[in-house]
A and B are shown apart, each in its own frame.
Chain A
């Protein structure tokens, strides 16, 4: 399995600080390459948001190089890998909560990650918050995560419609994330078969709120993204479009094409 990937991130037109974080890491194992990428959208006043998102990225990256590689070499199943990642994420959540309490501040972050394990022919998605993962093919674009936000929850429950959701003032209210003093919480995981030739795009809410999924697909379809340069170019194009349309939030997106 080969990966072509790139990313775009900016504090945006209005905010002074970029609270989004991301990482991409690949590792060779038994003649094939594993891909791991994630996007975090930090939430919280002062420097809380970027601290939380940066911390989670750094620590999860460490999980990949330490725990995950050990699990792989011991022949662990995908269930064990998921459990290990889940334990680590909860541990990070506890750490963030403890730190925030000490500093008397708000700290939280969303987290959406994609782990591609060709040896198992699986991808593992871990997700919490309102950042998203899309799978993009030439024919379709599919949202692989569901937003943990008040508005999305109400749409799912049929209380409000999607059109109403777009203009709802509660856009920024999350129902689940890492940190924020949340204790009784669980994160979303799913596995799926590897879809060769597809693009996977992870993004913060700032990237996708002002553009339609059709537009995303138009720019990010696999046939339009042959190499790293074109991926970067297309992500930049979308980013500029989003900013032109008045997005105030931080904007981050990461895309990988599996080939």
Chain B
């Protein structure tokens, strides 16, 4: 298992290099560093001198991928791509181009707000979806099941934007229960968190509950379930003990990958509810064309995704002892 993990981590390196190449290529395909400097300095009265200075301060005064003026290894190492990427692998993200703040610090301080929403949504959501799916599986081929599936299909056909807009309108504006958006400090935070969390869970109910129901129904026709029933176990026990346990692998496949990515928060939810998390940080960076921040978030996202993939494999061994990682 240790060998397997080491191999997976090593395999991640070329992927992360590839991710960096793609981000760089996308950004510099049309934008030259000069354009970037002008954009960040403001359009008006930008002198050659100030552009040069801006580039020098931030290390953009080198060629992009290949430096022909150098000898040997320097051809590759003395470039924007290399100098910026190497630091990235040490998780040193540098400073944002717009306001010069330290990106690493920013990520560390904003991460908790994202997590405060994403983690409850994930945990409570999983519990809700699995419970609903088990209920539908329990009442399979009856009107309860049918109504459940119909509701799920309708729920998954509604755009997530409408859940947010509708929820904000009903709960905050009409009934005045919780603030419409914002984020507080200390104990008051929960007031701001309730609505986004509840909406986050509801928005996912249709697709997830239906998907888990399909997984459970696939298991329910297996021989071991028949054996369990033949032994005289109650249907509830069959479902919760046998079916749920055996359905863990497909459930884990979809769920575990998402866990590390919870740190990044949700772009849409955070911007609608004005939550100072990483999602809104990313949206702002996209709108400001702040290359440093976008690059850092892409890199972080990829790292977390790869961690998620490795965790998924590890979780298989826990859920199913037959799985061995080699």
Do A and B actually bind? Answer: no
Chain B contacts to A: CB under 8 angstroms: none
By a beta-carbon cutoff of 8 Å, the part of chain A in contact with chain B is none
